[in-house]
Structure 1
Amino acid sequence: MPSNAIIQCTSSSSSPATHIYDVFVSFRGEDTRNNFTDFLFHALRTKAIHVFKDHQDLEKGKSIAPDLLQAIQASRLFIVVFSESYASSTWCLRELAEICNCFETLPRRVIIPIFYDVRPSVVRKQSGCYEKAFAEHEKRFREDEVKMEEVQRWRQALTQVANLSGWDIRNKSQSEQIGEIVQTVINILGPKMSKLPKDELVGIESRVEELTNLLQLDLVNDVRVVGISGMGGIGKTTLARALYERICHQYDFHCFIDDVSKIYRDSSSLGVQKELITRCLSEKNLEICNAIDGTYLVWTRLHNARTLLVLDNVDQCEQLKLFTGNRDIRRCVGGGSRIIIISRDEHILKTHGVDDVYQVQLLSWENAVQLFCRNAFKVNYILDDYEELAREVLSHAQGHPLGIEVIGSSLFGRNVSQWRSALGRLRYSKDRNIMNVLRISFDQLEEEEKEIFLDIACFLHNHFYYNEILSIRGFDYENGISALIEKSLITCEYGDIYMHRLLMDLGQSIVREKSPKEPLKWSRLWDCKDFEKAMLDNEASENLEVIYIECDLLLGTVRADGLSKIRHLKLLKLEDVNFSGNLNHLSNELAYLNWKEYPFKCLPQSFQPIKLVELYLVGSSIKRLWEGTKPLHNLKLLDLSYSEDLVEMPDVREALNIEKIKLKGCIKLPKINPSIGLLKKLSLLNLRNCKNLVSLPNTILGLNSLEYMDVSGCSKLLQRDLVSYLLPSSTFPSSLTCLRELNLSFCNLVRIPDAIGKLSCLEHLNLEGNNFTTLPNLDNLFRLYHLNLQHCKRFKYIPVLPSQTEFPSETCKLPLPYLTHEDLVGLILYNCPELVEREHCSSMVFSWMIQIFQSYEVRCSRNTCSLKLRPNIACVIPGSEIPRWFNNQFGSMDNSIRIDTSPVMHDNNWIGVMCCAIFHMDIERDMTGYRYIDRSARIPPVDLRSDLVIDHSDHMWLFYLSHQDFGERRYDCRWYTSYNGVISVEFTKLMMDTAEFEKGEHQYVKVYVKKYGYRWVYEQDRQLPNSGSMVDIPQFFGTSLHNYSSKACSQEVILQLMQ
């Protein structure tokens, strides 16, 4: 076909007319209806081209002319089939004149001429049969001047269209010609979005591109199956439809089946198969007797055809088997086919073996604003006076497209006052349209999964310890959480679970729906005001199982006896609630009791905690839990921390399953109940700052499961008590063999026993603030990764550190609850003024840190480290000069370091950067020009209280930032800023001195960073030294070893590099 066969008319109009039809075909029925034109219509419709056909699409009995003119004006492309008798029909000629009129006056219209059984010159010159036809028209209308003008326009139209080079199909294969015509039409229409106008879709382009990449359309012989998943209303169908309409023309067969789930429910399996066959194969009257026949028919028709198939809203695996039977879905279609399956349940997609799953994400803030403005204001920007209210809506919708559209549309045309009123109602009365869409996913859950969903929606969202509470509730939380993740109802990131605000609204609405104004009849209470209302009710509650109150607003005083009437309460958490009266009873069904600042002297005597698993009474007024003993057979955790009036630890003879006891800050507690020795499962004992504790029972030596022990700040404990429980004895020959973390800080110790070196499982040792001068040999503690020696004012000699460091796997999985910096790995040697041989100390610590780094990175290269709890590898040691190994060195002008990332910006081989900062501190009483510490600054991992610090000399802070640290937010804030490829790590300029502040003094600790250096670390640096000795360490420094042949010489290398 000649290149100038088609002419497309352009227009200056910027707003295209609405296209109802893709193609309008003008033809003479008696010439071509039952042959060429019928075949052409079928071929066009097979390719999902919406084509107008006058004898079918116009309603019978209506005036045909107006409808026909409308159809012409609403079509984008015109095919004119010229046959011998075409010019004899005034109807055809009027169509042609209107087509030319649209071509000239409307934008982006295209005309394709086809010369069926007549030469193009006959049409162009109106000769031969066309001359005879026009002679008849002129004879008929010669008395009517208007009609004669119309005949003249017909002639002009024929000439105009015939001048377009088109298809002359005389004496040619019609099937081949029709194929070429259809392909040309497809190319002209291109990626159309007739059902999804491009101007109304926000953020669609990048998503279509990402999905297209997963489909790998360039693999023309492969069959790929891709799933689309995401929460309800997030735009899965819209995305699939957008992509489908762009690429469907490339396939032999294509079909988009909407809502497979509904078709399956309404018409069973046969309904789904009939929909596929009707839509994809254009078989309208085909009879299918059963699902087996339907499956076979689908396979026989499609297994050799290049097919595009989209199955929307699949919610059962059975619905997919209808198409394939027992075959792999890839074997049911021809090479080059693509199948897209849309489901809220990712498990269904994985079960069916999709090649990839595209998770549809929430809208970015920019796209969310754009979508909201289009619906709420009908413009692309927020109107004046509405910005704060708009942000409130967007914060609530959290990038959810359906939520943004529905809420935005409901606010359109309202004034500011009406907006405020509507948003106030939104907090308590949720939009039914949004909730109905989201509830579909909830209704498909199993009963236990529904309970877990409701717990998360009401009180466990953004909760790190959700698994413990769900387990206490008796749920199979692992499978339940997995099911909710697969159904896109929650996400799990770095160990935390997150639920979208709208899904939380749904869950809370479900809990409230049966008795919206009677909170005592709900299953869960989580809102402060609802709790206050419930406590005023005099009726007993049979339904309430959970009270989880963390008040963020001031409440009045609540009557404590209201809790006595809740008979089946299983979980109780109360924080910042003021109570009056007496507490006479608590439900014996309680499995979890967490009451911060419990205001009573003891628990009710009638309370039988036989089902209690965890008991938290932090900061309570309790003196003793109860008189005598209680049946605590299920208790695993007892936390009475900061109960400053506690004078008696409970007898735990009937609580043999306890695993953790926390008595931190119980300053009046004089002794530990000897029954603690019966707790063979006890793994954690925290007695930190029990300042009145004078002795420990010797039964503590039998706690062979104990892993974490903290007696820091127990300054009245005798030296012999602290030493004795570290030493084996005839009674306890293998005491504390599982101990991993030991905190002996501020215990007035003048000697550390040699036996501490035999605690082979020890990983964390905190000896801060003691009075010893040296340490025993620690080189057998191969698992030791943190040693804290700061503020040991008499300490002189550092021992030999373990030559090989085995990085423990648990450090990357569990937080260490007793570290000032919980995720710190390294050695802290700060404010030790008597320390001698500082150069030797520095080299030893530096090489030890390198080994820790390598051990950690080797483990992380095996993908066994959690990103959330990735530790900070750091050391603080005396020093005033940056080691020359740090090949980028600078002075610090504004208490920050600047890391130029340009050398590694395009290098995938780097894994992190090792940094060194020289700092010192000073006392500052005048805070003018300085600021308090903020959460975005990095802090040296040392205790900077002025009452402790006597060595104000420079110290060296070595720390490591991994590749993953960059771009990550920790604790809801960025710890660095970035500009033009330069990373700025800001350090604390001012830190409140807590010791002096508590005395009412206005004294502050000011931290100065004087200079810094850094060095990029690469993949090859992960390798551990072969021998594990320091002779290999210079390899890491990039230093040649040919001049060094011994460990002693290696030490010399270290010293040189440290200079």
Structure 2
Amino acid sequence: MASTSTSGRGEWAPDPFSVLEPHNKMIKSSLSVKQFDVFINHRGPDVKTTLALQLYNSLKNEGISAYLDSEETELGDYFPSAIKNAIFSARVHIAILSRRYAESAWCLAELALMFQTEARIIPLFYHVQPSDFRHIKNGVADAFSKHEENGRYPNHDVQQWKDCLQNVSGIKGYELNGQNDDLNKLCCEVVTTVVKEKKKRKIPLQVAKYEVGLDELVKDFQSHCQSNGEMKDKIIGIFGMGGSGKTTLAKYLFNNKSSEFSGSTFLFDVRGRHVKDELTSLQSQLLKDLIHLKEKSIGNINDGITSIKDNLQRTRESRFLIVIDDADHLKQLDALVPIDALNSKSLVIVTTRDERLLIQAGVNVRYKMKEMNPEHSRELFCWHAFQKQSCKSGFQNLVEGFVKVCGGLPLALQVMGAHVSGSDKSYWKLELDVAENITQRHKRYP
């Protein structure tokens, strides 16, 4: 198998599927929204029962979820929507370029949509030469002449398809003559490539160095915000004092739920980023994380809002998970939470110090963070002060003093524990006196 050279991606364009759908469609159908690792782009009559199916089975046998329309589209699914969801959720796209590939407007529209994402594209040249696509010649040229002559599709769409086909011919891929030995070898190599790509995915967020009391916190959250294992609404608010563990809980939920969604994003420190005039950067990150769009500069917040709504409307059938961490102003939620553009099964989690913000934003399901109980407070402090669960001999009274001063706030317990770690009792007593004096002043002058 020979490889071609590497080249760049195509330019952004409107939804290429729009020209394939009926103009006045009145379709209400269910959609089994799944997240796929791989999308297999192919012309069915050429390779569906041969290379495409063998490749699909090889990936499936390795525990890799791949989308092949004949195997994954379910009864009741609206076909274009199912394909779009698969394309935008997959991190690897495989384009099987066969002799009559360019005759299929569906294949070309899928390819154009693939180029609008950041997913890796692997071309497989099946009984064809890459140069046929690079220079639009031989059967490829004949196919495009027919597209242009029949006038069924707008000229700019046909040109976009042609550009994408030329671009894909320059991406490093495989040439296959169709012999059985080559077919088996190819499938093995592609599986190996996909496995490596999966390993590059985002690692889970670190929830906390010491996850003390986390199980109880999660259970309490679930009892308030979930019903029959599902969130009670598609937007959930978590509020409480600074340092009460809101971000810790949100990170845990993000790690444990993100696999259920087609795309997910965790936008940290929104309050601080707003002060630095970085909301447009967060908007760009949201688009990149959710639908794998190439990161691009957004001129202003209103442009960002429009771009987010337009792009999420295009992928309306996809479920997304969005975490807005430490918000303190409605402007931030307006810029980053496009509720009307989200699928009803998407989930937005907002953390904030101010419950009033959630009420103003119409967030009906709100969870109030509670103080850590004395037992968990003691344990968390000891982990940071002594790097073990229990108290060092002779420090019991001092530990109790710090636990009382910290008032059940996880961040305070972590900071104070780390601050006195490794110091002698005299230093502990000095720092405890300072902390107690500060606490008393706050009580007098809140």
Retained in 2: the 8 A contact 1:219–1:336? no
1:394–1:168 distance in 2 versus 1, CA, 3 Å: same
TM-score, normalising length: structure 1? 0.24
Residue 360 of structure 2 corresponds to: 351
Greater RCO, CA 8 A, separation 6+: 2
Offset from partner CA, 1:939-969 (integer Å, 9 cap, x none)? xxxxxxxxxxxxxxxxxxxxxxxxxxxxxxx
Residue 266 of structure 2 corresponds to: 256
Retained in 1: the 8 A contact 2:234–2:347? yes
Residue 407 of structure 1 corresponds to: 416
Greater Rg, structure 1 or structure 2?
1
Tell me if 1:381 matches 2:390. yes
Of the candidates 200, 222, 239, which is equivalent to residue 229 of structure 1? Answer: 239
Distance in 2 between residues matched to 1:241 and 1:417, nearest whole Å: 38
Number of aligned pairs? 283
Retained in 1: the 8 A contact 2:118–2:294? no
Offset from partner CA, 1:428-451 (integer Å, 9 cap, x none)? 3x5xxxxxxxxxxxxxxxxxxxxx
Is the partner of 2:212 in helix, strand or coil?
A: coil
Give, as a single letter, the amino acid of the residue that structure 2 aligns with 1:312.
D
Is the partner of 2:390 in helix, strand or coil?
A: coil
Distance in 2 between residues matched to 1:320 and 1:300, nearest whole Å: 17
1:216–1:224 distance in 2 versus 1, CA, 3 Å: farther
CA-CA distance at 1:412 after TM superposition: 1.2
1:826-975, aligned counterparts within 5 Å?
A: none
Give, as a single letter, the amino acid of the residue that structure 2 aligns with 1:422.
E
1:323–1:392 distance in 2 versus 1, CA, 3 Å: closer
Residue 290 of structure 2 corresponds to: 280
Residue 195 of structure 1 corresponds to: 206
Q: Which has the higher helix share?
A: 2
1:212–1:309 distance in 2 versus 1, CA, 3 Å: farther
CA-CA distance at 1:283 after TM superposition: 3.3
Residue 238 of structure 1 corresponds to: 248
Retained in 2: the 8 A contact 1:291–1:322? yes
Retained in 1: the 8 A contact 2:247–2:351? yes
1:274–1:248 distance in 2 versus 1, CA, 3 Å: same
Residue 372 of structure 2 corresponds to: 363
CA-CA distance at 1:333 after TM superposition: 0.6
1:484-499, aligned counterparts within 5 Å?
A: none
CA-CA distance at 1:249 after TM superposition: 2.0
1:297-312, aligned counterparts within 5 Å?
A: 297-303=307-313, 304=316, 305-312=318-325
Residue 14 of structure 2 corresponds to: none
Distance in 1 between residues matched to 2:220 and 2:364, nearest whole Å: 15
Distance in 2 between residues matched to 1:323 and 1:202, nearest whole Å: 32
Residue 330 of structure 2 corresponds to: 317
Distance in 2 between residues matched to 1:322 and 1:116, nearest whole Å: 54
Offset from partner CA, 1:131-169 (integer Å, 9 cap, x none)? xxxxxxxxxxxxxxxxxxxxxxxxxxxxxxxxxxxx558
Distance in 1 between residues matched to 2:296 and 2:203, nearest whole Å: 30
CA-CA distance at 1:507 after TM superposition: 6.2
1:97-112, aligned counterparts within 5 Å?
A: none
Residue 78 of structure 2 corresponds to: none
* Structure 2: 5+ residue stretches without partners: 1-56, 64-91, 93-110, 121-171
Tell me if 1:393 matches 2:402. yes
Give, as a single letter, the amino acid of the residue that structure 2 aligns with 1:318.
K
Of the candidates 403, 407, 426, which is equivalent to residue 417 of structure 1? Answer: 426
Distance in 1 between residues matched to 2:173 and 2:228, nearest whole Å: 39
Give, as a single letter, the amino acid of the residue that structure 2 aligns with 1:200.
Y
1:425–1:287 distance in 2 versus 1, CA, 3 Å: closer
Distance in 2 between residues matched to 1:268 and 1:257, nearest whole Å: 12
Is the partner of 2:327 in helix, strand or coil?
A: coil
Give, as a single letter, the amino acid of the residue that structure 1 aligns with 2:364.
D
CA-CA distance at 1:238 after TM superposition: 1.3
1:283–1:372 distance in 2 versus 1, CA, 3 Å: same
Residue 184 of structure 2 corresponds to: 119
Distance in 2 between residues matched to 1:320 and 1:4, nearest whole Å: 43
1:323–1:194 distance in 2 versus 1, CA, 3 Å: closer
Residue 558 of structure 1 corresponds to: none
1:377–1:285 distance in 2 versus 1, CA, 3 Å: closer
Offset from partner CA, 1:669-696 (integer Å, 9 cap, x none)? xxxxxxxxxxxxxxxxxxxxxxxxxxxx
CA-CA distance at 1:255 after TM superposition: 0.9
TM-score, normalising length: structure 2? 0.54
1:368–1:219 distance in 2 versus 1, CA, 3 Å: closer
RMSD: 4.3
Distance in 2 between residues matched to 1:261 and 1:278, nearest whole Å: 21
CA-CA distance at 1:293 after TM superposition: 2.9
1:640-659, aligned counterparts within 5 Å?
A: none
CA-CA distance at 1:42 after TM superposition: 4.2
Distance in 2 between residues matched to 1:403 and 1:219, nearest whole Å: 33
CA-CA distance at 1:420 after TM superposition: 2.1
1:286–1:245 distance in 2 versus 1, CA, 3 Å: same
Offset from partner CA, 1:780-835 (integer Å, 9 cap, x none)? xxxxxxxxxxxxxxxxxxxxxxxxxxxxxxxxxxxxxxxxxxxxxxxxxxxxxxxx
Retained in 2: the 8 A contact 1:43–1:182? no
Distance in 1 between residues matched to 2:441 and 2:183, nearest whole Å: 69
Give, as a single letter, the amino acid of the residue that structure 2 aligns with 1:339.
V
CA-CA distance at 1:274 after TM superposition: 3.0
Distance in 1 between residues matched to 2:373 and 2:426, nearest whole Å: 28
Is the partner of 1:313 in helix, strand or coil?
A: strand
Is the partner of 1:309 in helix, strand or coil?
A: strand
Distance in 2 between residues matched to 1:208 and 1:43, nearest whole Å: 34
Distance in 2 between residues matched to 1:241 and 1:337, nearest whole Å: 17
Distance in 1 between residues matched to 2:182 and 2:298, nearest whole Å: 41
Distance in 2 between residues matched to 1:207 and 1:225, nearest whole Å: 19
Tell me if 1:206 matches 2:271. no
Q: Which has the higher strand share?
A: 1
1:713-792, aligned counterparts within 5 Å?
A: none
Distance in 2 between residues matched to 1:295 and 1:276, nearest whole Å: 11
Offset from partner CA, 1:516-562 (integer Å, 9 cap, x none)? xxxxxxxx9xxxxxxxxxxxxxxxxxxxxxxxxxxxxxxxxxxxxxx
Identity value in percent: 23
Retained in 2: the 8 A contact 1:228–1:358? yes
Of the candidates 347, 350, 356, which is equivalent to residue 341 of structure 1? Answer: 350
Residue 940 of structure 1 corresponds to: none
CA-CA distance at 1:394 after TM superposition: 0.9
Give, as a single letter, the amino acid of the residue that structure 2 aligns with 1:119.
N
CA-CA distance at 1:235 after TM superposition: 0.9
Distance in 2 between residues matched to 1:365 and 1:272, nearest whole Å: 38
1:1043-1054, aligned counterparts within 5 Å?
A: none
Retained in 1: the 8 A contact 2:118–2:293? no
Give, as a single letter, the amino acid of the residue that structure 1 aligns with 2:416.
I
Retained in 2: the 8 A contact 1:234–1:360? yes
1:968-987, aligned counterparts within 5 Å?
A: none
Offset from partner CA, 1:401-420 (integer Å, 9 cap, x none)? 11111111122112233322
Distance in 1 between residues matched to 2:263 and 2:352, nearest whole Å: 22
Distance in 2 between residues matched to 1:330 and 1:210, nearest whole Å: 26
1:234–1:310 distance in 2 versus 1, CA, 3 Å: same
Of the candidates 301, 322, 326, which is equivalent to residue 291 of structure 1? Answer: 301
Is the partner of 2:308 in helix, strand or coil?
A: helix
